[in-house]
Structure 1
Amino acid sequence: MVVADLADTAFDLGTHLNGDAVERVVTASAIRRVIVDTEPDCVVVTGEAPDGAWRRGVDTVRAVDSTLPVVLVAPDGSERLAAAAVEADVAAYVNRAAESDPGGRLAAAVEAAVGQGSGDRPARSGSAAEDTRIDHYRTLVETAGDPMYVLDADGNLRLYNDAMAERVGYEDADLVGESVERFTTADSLATADAAIERLLANGGGTHETVEIDLLTAADERVPCEVSLAPVRDDDGAFTGSVGVIRDITDRRARERELERDKRIFETVPDVIFAVDADGIVETTNERASDVFGIDRADLIGRSYTDLLDADVVGREAVDRYLETIARLLDSDTDAPGRFEVTLTTPDGRDRTYEVHVTLRSIDGEFRGTVGVMRDITERTRREAELERQNERLERFASVVSHDLRNPLEVARGRLELARERGDDRHLEHVDSAIDRMETIVDDLLALARQGTAVQDTQLVRLDRIARSAWEVVDTGEATLTVASDCTVRADGSRLQQLFENCFRNSVEHGDNDATSSPVSVRVGLLADDGRPDGFYVEDDGPGIPADQRDQLFEYGTAGSDGGMGLGLAIVKDIVDAHDWRIRVADGTAGTGARFEITGVTVREQ
């Protein structure tokens, strides 16, 4: 026997042939020599791909002795390779990887092929040639481990193997002569017929793989992949087809899972990413384009150092990422690491992200990370607002338990004295206490209003808001100048309240005792490197001592009106609610107080 290993699969087929005399060759010329010199009963070729080098071995055998049976052995076969074996007219096909006893299967295939080819090998013609061809296919079908069948030109079963009968659930029935329509859907039949027609139109000699649905005896629909090849007689006329089937139920399920995961991957509002051990971005979703301002394709394949150099990500983000990886590598837990980082988005806004990172490893070797970035800016704002509200509740409790109780007790005591002594002068103290309580109640209402966070902003005229605020404050003879008609993005009502409290503070504390002149207040724009970044409120009064500025915005910094000292604390709350910043400085002329509010979106007219 000749074993031809033209595919160079490097395994010894001779050990599986039950001691038969085997001569192993590796070239086509050697096959020709051995066939002529030894007159073998069978040739075994090995192949790994449908169009592999094994075909040259089959062609060489056919050129020397067209009746010599050939068995194709595949180390790890496929239905495409099986279909190619049919198309190449080999006597048997053995898929080693699919067999529990590949040696036994090979020996049986060789024995069947030799038995088929024994005798005087008469020339084939007419019906005898057709019978010989069917016998040949019978050997191939019966020795194949995959579900396999042969149809006649009308689509009726001529041959099938046990694997095919088991797949469709008719193990105990004789299916020869049954129409293929019994085992598949109309759409699948049309798909297979179209494939055969394409093969016939191309002149034959090839195979095609399509997907169909098999119908089982239990009326179940099984998705399958079938490799088809036409069968021809010696004159080239179409006499039927042969097919090798693979159940792709599991593959379809995996494809559905993959599609589901892909939809989740692309539709979640978070950034999902995978980075290899060298810091190269392997994949990410479209959300990353919104966060980093470049196309996803421009992120994939680049290292974090490259992205850092290109100002796509900031140093803080990279450092926190590397610190988290180092911490996870030093720990014994599989739990993900977590950190928060602030990034500047393409529209120039700072957003806070919560990043979860999990290590990827194979056999204990670090292979990179997968991670999720979630925008928690709004959550952080809500948490900050909740904290502010809790502080206000504490202030309310303090006011109710102390500030409001004191004038109430004064009023009650004076009222009792007035009743006992009939002295109406005590009622004046009652009236003062009531005034004091009224002031405190007003301050409480103002404080309560600050519990509403800024939910919606729009572009509003700075000059109009400032002048509206000036009209509702008791400003006496003070004057206002607004040096800009720009627009700012803000909650208009809250911005007016900010101006009201700033103006009230200037008027109440800003009278210039040295000149006895009324205070002047000015509102204007601030710029950062020539770019508008906010606005200021400035007066020409005595100013605010430097040692008092740190406590200026704190609750309880009492005003001259006997109130709770909430005016500037409310200003600070409004600034914080907009994510702005505020600082106190001296006036432009070196005197007076100047409040500078920055971080504001400004558009000049």
Structure 2
Amino acid sequence: MTWQYTPEILPYVGVLFLSVLLAGGLTVYTVVVWTDAMHQPTVRAFVGLNVGCALWAGAYAMQLLSVTVSTKRGWLTVAFLGAVLVSVSCFTFAVAYSGNERLLSRRTALVLAIEPIVAFVLFTTQYRNLYTQRVDTAVVSDLVMIDRTFGPMGIVHVLYLYGLLVLSAGFLLRTIYRANHVYRMQASAVLLSIFVPLLANVVWFLELGPMGNLDFTPVAFVVSGLVYAVAISQHQLLDVVPVARTAVVENMRDGFLVIDETNRVRDVNAAVRSQIADDDNESIIGRDIAAVFPEVMRIVRDGPSTDHAQIAVDSSDRRRLFEVQVQRLSNDERFRLLLLRDVTDQHAVEQRYQALIENASDLITVIDDNGVIRYQSPSSTNVLGYDPSALEDRNYTEFVHPDDRERIAGAFSQGIEEPSSSEREEYRIRDADGEWRDVETVGRNLLDDPFVDGVVLNTRDVTERKKREREIRRKNDQLEEFAGVVSHDLRNPLTIAQGYLEAARDAVDCEYHDDIEFAHDRIETIIGDVLVLAREGQAIGETERVDVEQAVEQAWTHVDTGEASLTVVSDRPIVADEDRFLQLLENLFRNAIEHGGSDVNVRVETVADGFFVEDDGPGIPADDRRDVLKYGYTKTEAGTGFGLAIVSRIAEGHGWSIRVTEGTDGGARFEFVTDSQPITESLEEDALSNG
């Protein structure tokens, strides 16, 4: 193989090999230092760019040194591949650097590869001279130079590569226009590294070069290499890349601040600028962090940490609290990233909840999975007489009454096995004086919640309520005893009297027998009403949605209504104890017939806030309406005075209010205002379930 060494060509070839060394050095440096970042498109494209530069410059140098046409064509083939790799890598780098990675899909890569593949095939095969019409050598100043004329495909290929570079410059110019100071310096450096080789190649393509149109494009890569080196060392080309910065960093609610090894600010986002009086981004960049944000200096001196430190910043309206974390921006020790999260509102909420817990009358206790107390609210002092610190690290069950301890321990074990479960228990607990107090506890398993990591017990002192319940049970027992006396000791003599009355009817004809029987019946009725009041009173069982129309018709059949008529208008159910609701209706119907006659008309209707029962009888005088619901009040000989009292007690037991007024037709009207909210919710649930 023959080579040419002339004084004219050697300096230029030396510059080309220098370009190879610069590009190769940048390639090795990038692969070694940014090994962990090789998955990033910008880093991969930068490596491809420098590999292409090295191939192009080295191949062109060898082409100049060679003499024969076949050798020169071989090196031109390598240079062809290098030029394609440079253009495609430059385009990829610019697209990724400007935050448009979504454009770098497999489809994009396929489209970009079509033209270079076609051009390469035509270049190597010389098919119909579509790429080069003529390839020969010519001697210029004692140098054997390649002499070729591009065909149509050759011109298309050159223009295609120019197009990629122009598009790359467009992406970079857009980044320069929209970016802040640090990104403008980076993008400008990359743009310069593209512009210089592009200008040199245009001079060559237009055949304006010296010495037989010598191509200075590979030499221009020396300038590009130097620019890249400066961009990497001074402007962190591969450390800080504005990929999707506008969409992510600039719009972050958290503060984002980059400082270098001299504590100079290199980048900030809007969240940080809003905390600084001077909102001008350019005036912040390059300033010392101590002058811009003096509150973070203590954290900066401590160095990078995964812990979050807290600082207070006095703004124009109020003091704000921030959690600050310092991180390394990359493997380079020179740059640190400060993340600032505004926790002012969160801190206010925490303070509010802490105040609520510390001033609550209930006991708030947090225990671990072994039942050991990890937190006890200050209310333990007022409720049990214990200092909270004296309870911590002690097992909760040691304060529980021995008779309740096994049951509570079992409930606790069951709750531990069910995350997020909630249980309610009543038991006795010992206070600081050694007395046993009744408490009600709702426990919730929050062991899986990292912010709680325990079982939360909300305990209420129900000692006084338990005393009242025991007193009520005692009175109920007395009432039950009284009911037994009424039932047994009064009904037995009454039965005997009724027997003697029947015997007297057979033996003696007396006009007073009917009066005696009426008196016996009245006594029987009074005994029945008294038993209802004594045994049931206000007691209300399980409530449910009751169909009003069906309940009214059923209650009507339980009463001797004679010729009386009934009208029912209902568009909604009533939430009630069905048995007691029937009893209420029966008593109202009996009252209507008793006072309105056997042909009275009775109307039952639901309204927006409850229901009413009215008749067209003589009605109740206004002066008597307050008294008709009292025990024993009656103005008829047959009445006991207990029927409407029972109605009042049933309504009271349901939590309903009752109002006695005049009916539509002048009779008596009893209006009941119920709690309509459960009814409404039930109807909504049915509507949802039925679609």
- Report if TM-score (shorter chain) is over 0.5: no
Higher percent of residues as helix: 2
| Higher share of residues assigned strand | 1
**TM-score (ref. length: structure 2):** 0.29
Structure showing greater radius of gyration is: 2
> Normalising by structure 1, what TM-score?
0.33
